[in-house]
Amino acid sequence: MEVFVQQLINGITLGSIYGLIAIGYTMVFGILGMVNFAHGDVFMVSAFIALIAFLILSAWIGAGLIALTLLIVLIIAMVMTSVLNWAIERVAYRPLRGSFRLAPLISAIGMSILLMNFVQVAQGPRNKAIPPLFADVIVLFTVDGYDVTVSYKQIVIWLVTGVLLLAFWYLVSKTALGRAQRACEQDQRMAALVGVNVDRTISITFIIAAALAAVAGTMYLIHYGVVSFADGFTPGVKAFTAAVLGGIGSLPGAVIGGLAIGLIETFWSAYFSSDYKDVAAFSILVVVMIFLPQGLLGRPEVEKV
């Protein structure tokens, strides 16, 4: 029982990070019908931005104001990553919007390779680390000498993730921007005819997706304390898997899918073997897709005539 509770805590933490990345996939796909395969590397770049900003600010502000430092780091990462994703949309995706469907996909893969290799050249191939943050833990209970704990950094990840998810859910569901996004999702041409600025709506969607990826990148850096130029691929693929599992195009589905992937990984690692945790996650995806092709919360696609 104690192992189960501990892995549940770890799985929710990992799933929260996957969920934040998965929302970026599902928002872009919902409007453009395109999988932004560069999104995982945008997440990786945001982690490096957070790393560099943290090292500079911690040397300038000092180690005593760690909470203020992390808040500034988070804001810097969100702003810079949003600008990067805005530029990617303008340069790599917007000119190909009316082209055949494979063109934006190829462009996205090209941007992914470009970002990964740029970071490799700029920062080097080795892992980059920061000093341990929020190392203290809270012991929930002890069974036969085994402590079930939750760390302060896990609590920070939960709180930040929960607050941001509620904020962006409100943005999409209750604001004029959210209505414009839903209109573009249904029919971009008709949305333009009723006065929606489609280009601006798509650009803002990319900015929001990048901001969430930046939060995920910062939380990833806090949680693991290390980042590499190759860290965009695996988390990106798993987050995309989470978006598909939850129902791509559904914001709650992306979060549920992220939590499901995180829990599958941690429980499989605890009870079976960590070597096959990825196989387990993708196997569950295959099973779900067989019986629910639209995902857990996705809507069946209706053919337009």
Angle at 15 between CA 44 and CA 265, to 5 degrees: 100
Phi, psi at residue 187, to the nearest 5°? -165, 110
Q: How far is CA 47 from CA 104, 152, 220, 295, in A?
A: 25, 20, 7, 29
Instruction: Specify the CATH number of the domain 2-291.
Output: 1.10.3470
- The pLDDT assigned to 305 comes to 47
Q: What is the pLDDT of residues 53-80, one digit of tens each?
A: 998 888 887 666 787 888 899 999 999 9
- The pLDDT assigned to 301 comes to 59
At residue 96 the predicted structure's pLDDT band, cuts being 50, 70 and 90, is: confident
- Give the residue among 149, 160, 129 at the shortest CA–CA distance from 17: 160
- The pLDDT assigned to 300 comes to 61
Question: Is residue 51's pLDDT more than 50?
Answer: yes
First to last CA, the chain: 54
Which run of H or of E encompasses 3? helix 2-32
Q: What is the dihedral of CA 244, 247, 248, 251, to 10 degrees?
A: -120
User: Do residues 223 and 161 make contact, with C-beta atoms less than 8 angstroms apart?
Assistant: no
- Token pair for 4: 């189960």
Phi, psi at residue 247, to the nearest 5°? 110, 95
Query: Cα separation of 160 and 77, whole Å?
Result: 14
User: Do residues 210 and 86 make contact, with C-beta atoms less than 8 angstroms apart?
Assistant: yes
User: Do residues 209 and 39 make contact, with C-beta atoms less than 8 angstroms apart?
Assistant: yes
Buried b (16+ CB within 10 A) or exposed e, 198-235: beebbbbbbbbbbbbbbbbbbbbbbbebebbbebbeeb
Query: Cα separation of 128 and 50, whole Å?
Result: 11
- When pLDDT is averaged across residues 270-275 and rounded to a whole number, the result is 82
Q: Parallel, antiparallel, or unpaired for β 146-151 and 137-143?
A: antiparallel
**pLDDT higher at 39 or 304:** 39
- Token pair for 13: 């933490």
Question: Is residue 93's pLDDT more than 70?
Answer: yes
Question: Is residue 32's pLDDT more than 80?
Answer: no
Kindly report whether the global pTM for this prediction surpasses the value 0.85: yes
Query: Cα separation of 249 and 301, whole Å?
Result: 11
